[in-house]
Chains A and B, each alone.
Chain A
């Protein structure tokens, strides 16, 4: 069994600040991390390695600095790491990204057939959730997105059963290998790196594939050239034009009474509907 895990190195968005005047990102000192959503995908793959002795290959497209993320994945227990990197990939949107990654995965598949491609449900910097579906289409694999658990897998019969998050509930789906699975957050917890794996990661030679090694056939479909979407404008979010009315009182109780009196006087329909809601079935607290 061979599993490919697509990951991305991203800036830690929790530590990003925007310059208040120039609206530019202040990146100084912002650490690069593995996209947190991808860790759920990697852990799910490592669990299949534990169960079936699967080989786990992590794949990313990015600049040479992304080698850090690859070594980190090795320290968690991945077997192989491929960094798809070439200056012609720069400026890629999701369509161009899925083209380059799919080419590399096809090349990898020739070396050792892939049973499952895992990825996180989306990245924290782009937030698009589009590369996973794009890969499935380009590879001709079944797409299983927003998967919360892999319930059953039979590598011999090529069968898989998963729970998939849908609107208003969970779908239980049976499908066939090979497939692309995007993993929902919170489905597992990343293991700690073991000491031997950390030593292995430190010495590990991450494979670097340029356009030729990745088997890119049409360079017009990668990078900036292959991207139909472009960012036209960047601006600060418009603050909602509301000036809060400060409600005061001698005691918290008086302050609270003043608020409720004012609120219900300003929005009488809200008050009536709230009362009606409370006596209806919907008002029962969940």
Chain B
């Protein structure tokens, strides 16, 4: 093994081994089967990453020939029970349901207790969670309690046809390389998956499944941490890039914070969010919350317009899930044109105002057409 790979493997959270040298699965794990997806929700709202994972989990379960289960943990109310039905619509065969008012707000201790209790009782071979603040907090605690392997922030999940093990792929070294990680000899094989990477499947509203309830077996007096308050982001003024359908991003090529206003102008004309590449947020031209890429947000918009962004791999991994990408750069050989649908070679400072005017013109025509604007969506 080369020294470089040694270090790489170290960084990726494991060690590179040749295929065929995987350890034997311990006998006590022989009974572990089925694929589980943790259904994340908070204050009555389901996190979309759970639907993405149910889609992926369905495919994994079908490959393995096992069942897909949703895991719903939360307060004992109808809204929470409703998440089980939702999990069925999106592909689950059954749901494990732990309902207790102690679980009203996410807290590490009771949620870890609930999920490890379920795993030890019902024994899944694969357990997937979203790589959100909640999912990563919970997964790290559960994996350590169970003494099993966990792969963070995955962008690819497949089954190895040779030995049925889960192959979890993730970017490493700032997105310059990908690595695939396997869990050698413990179960469940756990992974958190990056939101907005896997598509949300089409729901089948007629699908039903069975609900298996399980007690929490914990009292509020045993829970040390209390939630005093929750301050929602919509009361602040934070950008909501991750779920934006339309994004206009600017890069170093914009030249200055003043010029960056042209990006905001186009975004305003489109009702789009504003994104930025790392050099821009580092220079302080815009808030760090707007950074798209490896160390920033992963986005999956329907339209992504990149102005003055060269297209470094660190940026690309954050936006390549976009349906349509338009890139503006004065260098016809810029890497960004290698993964965009439309290329505009030219000066972004001239092209952005021109695009703003042109979009306004074309869109105002569409908005005036009867039956096609005013919120009515036609195919």
List B281-298 residues whose CB lies under 8 Å from chain A. 288, 295
Given known contacts A95-B149, A270-B303, is B15 in contact with A24 (CB within 8 Å)? Answer: no
Docked-complex contact B15 and A143, CB < 8 angstroms: no
Q: Which one of B67-75, B91-99, B173-181, B209-217 contacts A?
A: B173-181
A: contact size bracket: 35 or more
Most chain B beta-carbon contacts within 10 A, residue among A228, A260, A279:
A228
CA–CA, A185 and B136, complex, Å = 16
- Interface residue? B17 (CB, 8 A): yes
Docked-complex contact A230 and B16, CB < 8 angstroms: yes
CA–CA, A278 and B132, complex, Å = 30
- Interface residue? A244 (CB, 8 A): yes
Docked-complex contact B5 and A234, CB < 8 angstroms: yes
Inter-chain contacts of B342 with A (CB < 8 A): 244-245, 247, 259, 262-263
Inter-chain contacts of A90 with B (CB < 8 A): 10
Q: Which one of A43-51, A105-113, A126-134, A195-203 contacts B?
A: A126-134
Most chain A beta-carbon contacts within 10 A, residue among B183, B288, B366:
B366
CA–CA, A247 and B147, complex, Å = 55
Docked-complex contact A231 and B17, CB < 8 angstroms: yes
CA–CA, A69 and B133, complex, Å = 28
Inter-chain contacts of A233 with B (CB < 8 A): 179-180
A/B interface sample: 15 pairs, CB < 8 A: A161-B228, A164-B133, A171-B229, A172-B230, A173-B225, A176-B225, A230-B181, A231-B12, A232-B19, A237-B171, A239-B338, A244-B337, A255-B354, A275-B372, A278-B270
Docked-complex contact A133 and B140, CB < 8 angstroms: yes
List A6-36 residues whose CB lies under 8 Å from chain B. 10-11, 13-14, 16-18, 23-27
Inter-chain contacts of A245 with B (CB < 8 A): 341-343
Partner of A25, one of B22, B173, B320: B173
Docked-complex contact A93 and B341, CB < 8 angstroms: no
Given known contacts A142-B109, A261-B362, is B174 in contact with A275 (CB within 8 Å)? Answer: no
Docked-complex contact B271 and A25, CB < 8 angstroms: no
Given known contacts A232-B17, A253-B357, A286-B237, is B173 in contact with A16 (CB within 8 Å)? Answer: yes
Given known contacts A242-B339, A262-B342, is B143 in contact with A172 (CB within 8 Å)? Answer: no
CB of A262 to closest CB in B, whole Å: 7
Inter-chain contacts of B376 with A (CB < 8 A): 276
Docked-complex contact A272 and B372, CB < 8 angstroms: yes
Docked-complex contact B137 and A133, CB < 8 angstroms: yes
Docked-complex contact B152 and A186, CB < 8 angstroms: no
- Interface residue? A285 (CB, 8 A): yes
Given known contacts A168-B233, A283-B271, is B152 in contact with A129 (CB within 8 Å)? Answer: yes
Docked-complex contact A128 and B13, CB < 8 angstroms: yes
Inter-chain contacts of A138 with B (CB < 8 A): 144
Inter-chain contacts of A168 with B (CB < 8 A): 42-43, 45, 232-234
CA–CA, A161 and B367, complex, Å = 50
Docked-complex contact B226 and A173, CB < 8 angstroms: yes
State the total of A-B contacts with C-beta under 8 angstroms. Answer: 361
CB of B307 to closest CB in A, whole Å: 12
Docked-complex contact A231 and B267, CB < 8 angstroms: no
Partner of B344, one of A16, A98, A247, A275: A247
Docked-complex contact B227 and A95, CB < 8 angstroms: no
CA–CA, A201 and B218, complex, Å = 48
Main secondary structure of the interface of A (DSSP, over half): mixed
CA–CA, A143 and B134, complex, Å = 12
- Interface residue? B104 (CB, 8 A): no
Inter-chain contacts of B144 with A (CB < 8 A): 95, 98, 133-134, 137-138
For the complex of A and B, 3 pairs with smallest distance between CB atoms: A133-B140, A283-B271, A228-B149
- Interface residue? B263 (CB, 8 A): no
CB of A284 to closest CB in B, whole Å: 7
Residue ranges of A at the interface with B (Cβ–Cβ < 8 Å)? 10-11, 13-14, 16-18, 23-27, 90-91, 93-95, 98, 124-134, 136-138, 142-146, 161, 163-176, 185-186, 224, 227-240, 242, 244-248, 251-253, 255-257, 259-264, 267, 269-280, 282-286
Docked-complex contact A253 and B341, CB < 8 angstroms: no
Docked-complex contact A228 and B351, CB < 8 angstroms: no
Docked-complex contact A16 and B231, CB < 8 angstroms: no
CA–CA, A160 and B204, complex, Å = 46
- Interface residue? B2 (CB, 8 A): yes
Inter-chain contacts of B268 with A (CB < 8 A): 285
CB of B343 to closest CB in A, whole Å: 4
Docked-complex contact B7 and A27, CB < 8 angstroms: yes
Inter-chain contacts of B170 with A (CB < 8 A): 127
- Interface residue? B122 (CB, 8 A): no
Partner of A228, one of B184, B326, B372: B184
Docked-complex contact B42 and A285, CB < 8 angstroms: no
Closest to B186 in A: A228
Using A16-B176, A237-B177 as known contacts, list a sample of 15 further A-B pairs with CB atoms less than 8 Å apart, ordered by residue number in A: A25-B176, A125-B172, A126-B13, A134-B140, A134-B141, A136-B108, A171-B230, A228-B184, A231-B17, A232-B19, A235-B178, A237-B175, A240-B316, A253-B358, A278-B363
- Interface residue? B239 (CB, 8 A): yes
- Interface residue? B347 (CB, 8 A): yes
CB of B104 to closest CB in A, whole Å: 12
- Interface residue? B76 (CB, 8 A): no
Docked-complex contact B143 and A130, CB < 8 angstroms: yes
C-beta contact mask, B102-127 vs A, less than 8 Å → 1, else 0? 00011111001000000000000000
Inter-chain contacts of B239 with A (CB < 8 A): 286
Partner of B230, one of A14, A145, A169, A284: A169
